Amino acid sequence: MGLDNGIYVKSNRRNLTREDMPQGIVFPFDEDYNGIEILYWRKNWGLRNAVMNHFGWRSSSVDQYYFNIETPSQVLKFIEIIASFLDEERWEDEGNSIWSYKEERPNLIQNIINLALIHAFMRENPDVYLVFYDSY
């Protein structure tokens, strides 16, 4: 489980576009499919498990799983979890990834920047929420 993980930005009142997003977000892909994706990991099982365990999310028997992040405080916790994996020793001990610390560190830093920007955006836009996906 958890080969691919990411976060989409959604709204319960409007159809958001990339132009609506805060300036400075670096999108992981050129195109969006299920929403505006601002975070992506591949084969980072330790980080995935830390997130899933903290939020109490459980996978089911479906191939794709979605979990809502509805408050700015949940985004801050997400940032805290990612930041904890910037510690090289933790990454080596608990990262459980095919990527080395050196390879994944820039991605983790960009994830934190994107989440910090979206955190402020969510505070100003209460209709905005995030969806974390955990693919098989």
The residue extents of the domains of the chain are 4-135
Neighbours of 58 (CB within 10 A): 10
- Which residues, 6+ apart, have CB-to-CB distance to 103 below 8 Å? none
Q: What is the pLDDT of residue 60?
A: 58
Residue appearing with tokens 């976060």: 7
What residue type is 13 in one-letter code? Answer: R
- Report d(CA 28, CA 115) in Å as an integer: 13
Ranges of residues in the chain with a pLDDT under 70 are: 1-2, 59-64, 136
CB 101 within 8 A of CB 90: no
Residue 39: both structure tokens together:
């975070």
pTM: 0.92
